[in-house]
Amino acid sequence: MTTPTLSTTGIHKSFGSHHVLKGITLDAHKGDVISILGASGSGKSTYLRCINLLETPDEGSMQLDGEVLKVRQRKDGRMEAMDRKQVERMRSQLAMVFQSFNLWSHMTVLQNLIEGPMRVQKRPRAECVEEADQLLQRVGLFERRDYYPAHLSGGQQQRVAIARALAMRPQVMLFDEPTSALDPELVGEVLKVMRSLAEEGRTMLVVTHEMGFARNVSNRVVFMHQGVIDVEGAPADVFGTHATERFRQFTSSHQDRAAA
């Protein structure tokens, strides 16, 4: 077995007295597309935020491409990253696509795509613009390169957000319910882009309620319940022979809004 691109071991996270994550261990190898399912409050988004270092786990460890995140305990007992430069370097390789797009509203579509590569990765502007144009062609929005986010539909904004994530040339892409804020008729256009990324071998962790995507595009499915992994495996197993009663109840209450 090859070394995982991303590995988390025993991740715990609490907010006050609320113990959100209770020891999550998960490996993602190159090319894995892992759909993370679970009811609201199960810890899915918190887990992604811990991976992307928007939150620091209280316990556990994380490795990216063999590099271990260095942490230390503060005086109040909480954990924090030891090396800010390491955090910035690792985060640049863990591109996050948020539920609410999180585009910079004062920048055009093109500016949204080139800001990170230029400022964080110190790449030449001309190179960044050329790559951004290629990415916008790919997601079908080249003709909107000079528009501001407010002039785009939700589906268009999310496709720009995906292109912006790709512009950082990440090792792993993290999607936090990327279709849940969209009107039903716009879901398909975003899922189509995500499917194409999976087909080209991108490593992706996707928190989603889109059962069709989880079944048909993922090579692994993780179902979380109250901060732990309830079941994990290939889609055929998780949705079939290895389905737990809790997972069956979950899937029966979530219907696709669009075919993946």
Taking 70 as the pLDDT cut, the residues of the chain under it are: 1, 255-260
Q: How far apart, in whole angstroms, are the C-alpha atoms of residue 77 and residue 201? A: 40
Rg, the chain, Cα only: 18
> CA nearest 39: which of 260, 259, 252, 257?
252
pLDDT value of residue 255: 53
Supply the DSSP symbol for 47: H
> CA nearest 188: which of 167, 164, 212?
212
Cβ–Cβ < 8 Å for 40, 30: no
pLDDT value of residue 1: 62
Locate all alpha helices (DSSP H) within 67-176, ordered by sequence.
Answer: 84-92, 109-119, 125-138, 154-167
CA angle 248–21–228, rounded 5-degree value: 30
pTM score, two decimals? Answer: 0.92
Phi, psi at residue 170, to the nearest 5°? -75, 155
pLDDT value of residue 159: 95
Q: How far apart, in whole angstroms, are the C-alpha atoms of residue 57 and residue 79? A: 7
Q: How far apart, in whole angstroms, are the C-alpha atoms of residue 55 and residue 51? A: 8
